[in-house]
């Protein structure tokens, strides 16, 4: 596979507030996905599968989990003498430095790194999207059109267009307008947050933005509208699967789509593998009474109960007579005897004791964060421990590190939350 003169810069410092308790202890790109992976694995795998072996990962919010996951980049063949992977955190120096204020500021504060790498083009990626894409096609399009900037776009349903940055193009695919999350979209062409710049254009534009006193220093809000008016900016139409998994509902839906007979995101394609660090776990073990239907099971899982239409990560223990339906159970969770979970997301190392019912009761909107949970899912944060005989409704949120003594009642009705930074009595 030939190398192309491109430096990839992966924006992976976002706080991910819409993922709520799943991003309470980690950056959004580090959220586990698909029974084995982390979200960032997709863009990193796309890079190496596309022949891009120089990758900077810009981290900021809760970076430890992400750093531990990436390490030297060996899983992606990015532990190299020439090129390789670089973890770029905000730092303090004699120059004026600060926390990254926006996506473009993250690049601006690392312009010295970009200059030292000396690429012809710089590919800006978001580390929190799930998709498979050959970036070489984008590069070829960019070169053929002699573009200063190429934006990768995808068609979205009109009813969802207001959630995205929306572009209009002419007959030659040149972008003529851009509007960030418009109330009344003029097009169904949405920016994927993938930008391919000529290096010198990127340097000039972020330096120009840095001189402004009032700016959010964001590519979509600040730089893209100006560059469209002043330079040659084209839209590259991507026609395959792409998903922004930035909300609980979207995250759950993307995982459930993997269980379809012909999933839109094929993880079993030998021609486009998704790489990730692997644990030395034993094979899956199935007990005498185990039943598994339409599910994915991670290595080291021990299944003694019933699993239906669910994603089970590595090291999960499901006890006898326990049932898991339409759920995502992350690494090293324990589910006790006769527990029943339906439309539930358990983060890592969650313990559900015997006879618990999670995901029951009538549907109610989450009282404190109605935009977080809307479709009846219940989420329990990392390292929490649900005491025996507890019933948890739908659209419920339980934060991280809760112990049995933290529960004031064995019944949590739908729409209720148990979050340490939200004052709500569970009585």
Mean pLDDT score of the chain? 92
Domain chopping of the chain, boundaries: 6-257, 285-418
pLDDT digits (tens, 9 = 90+) for 177-208: 999 999 999 999 999 999 999 999 999 999 99
Q: How many CB atoms lie within 10 A of CB 353?
A: 18
pLDDT of residue 320: 97
pLDDT digits (tens, 9 = 90+) for 349-358: 999 999 999 9
How far apart (Å, rounded) are the C-alpha atoms in residues 213 and 324?
Answer: 53
Q: What is the DSSP letter of 249?
A: H
Question: Which region among 153-167, 201-215, 366-380 has the lowest average model confidence (pLDDT)?
Answer: 366-380
- CATH assignment of 285-418? 2.160.10.10
Query: What are the tokens at 257?
Result: 């789509």
Could you give the dihedral angle defined by the CA atoms of residues 7, 13, 17 and 22, in that order, rounded to the nearest 10 degrees? 90
More confident residue, 400 or 17: 400
Cβ partners under 8 Å of residue 37, min gap 6: 274, 276
pLDDT band with cut points at 50, 70 and 90 for residue 422: low
CATH homologous superfamily, domain 6-257? Spore Coat Polysaccharide Biosynthesis Protein SpsA; Chain A (3.90.550.10)
Query: What is this structure's pTM?
Result: 0.93
Q: Please spell the DSSP secondary structure of 384-427, one letter per residue.
A: -EEPTT-EE-SS-EE-TT--GGG-S-SEE-TT-EE-TTS-----
Q: What is the mean pLDDT of residues 72-93?
A: 89
How far apart (Å, rounded) are the C-alpha atoms in residues 95 and 115?
Answer: 17
pLDDT digits (tens, 9 = 90+) for 216-239: 888 988 999 999 999 999 999 999
More confident residue, 14 or 288: 288
């Amino acid at each position: 596979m030939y190398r192309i003169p491109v430096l990839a810069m992966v924006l992976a410092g976002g706080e991910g507030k819409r993922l709520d308790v799943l991003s309470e202890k980690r950056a959004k790109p580090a959220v586990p996905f698909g029974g084995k992976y982390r979200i960032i694995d997709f863009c990193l795998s796309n890079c190496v599968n596309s022949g891009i072996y120089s990758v900077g990962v810009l981290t900021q919010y809760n970076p430890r989990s992400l750093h531990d996951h990436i390490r030297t980049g060996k899983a992606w063949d990015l532990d190299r003498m020439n090129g390789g992977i670089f973890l770029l955190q905000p730092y303090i120096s004699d120059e004026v430095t600060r926390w990254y204020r926006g996506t473009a500021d993250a690049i601006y504060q690392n312009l010295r790194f970009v200059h030292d790498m000396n690429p012809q083009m710089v590919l800006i990626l978001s580390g929190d999207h799930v998709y498979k894409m050959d970036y070489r096609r984008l590069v070829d399009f960019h070169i053929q059109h002699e573009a200063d900037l190429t934006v990768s776009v995808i068609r979205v349903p009109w009813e969802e267009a207001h959630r995205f940055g929306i572009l209009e193009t002419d007959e030659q695919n040149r972008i003529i307008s851009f509007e960030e999350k418009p109330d009344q979209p003029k097009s169904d062409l949405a920016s994927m947050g993938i930008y391919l710049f000529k290096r010198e254009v990127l340097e000039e534009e972020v330096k120009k933005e840095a001189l402004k006193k009032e700016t959010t220093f964001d590519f979509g809000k600040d730089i893209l509208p100006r560059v469209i008016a002043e330079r040659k900016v084209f839209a590259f139409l991507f026609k395959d699967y792409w998903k922004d998994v930035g909300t609980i509902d979207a995250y759950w839906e993307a995982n459930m789509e993997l269980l379809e007979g012909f999933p839109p995101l094929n993880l079993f394609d030998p021609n486009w593998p998704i790489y990730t660090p692997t644990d030395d776990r034993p094979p899956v073990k199935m007990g005498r009474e185990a039943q598994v239907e339409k599910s994915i099971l991670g290595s080291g899982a021990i299944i003694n109960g019933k699993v239906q239409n669910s994603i089970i990560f590595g090291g999960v223990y499901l006890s006898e007579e326990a049932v898991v339906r339409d759920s995502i159970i992350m690494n090293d969770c324990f589910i006790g005897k006769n527990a029943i979970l339906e439309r539930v997301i358990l983060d890592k190392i969650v313990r559900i004791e015997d006879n618990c019912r999670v995901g029951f009761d009538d549907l109610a909107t989450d009282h404190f964060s109605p935009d977080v949970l809307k479709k009846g899912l219940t989420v329990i944060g990392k390292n929490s421990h649900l005491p025996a005989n507890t019933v948890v409704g739908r659209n419920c949120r339980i934060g991280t590190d809760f112990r049995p003594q933290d529960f004031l009642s064995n019944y949590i009705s739908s729409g209720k939350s148990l979050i340490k930074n939200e004052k709500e009595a569970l009585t």
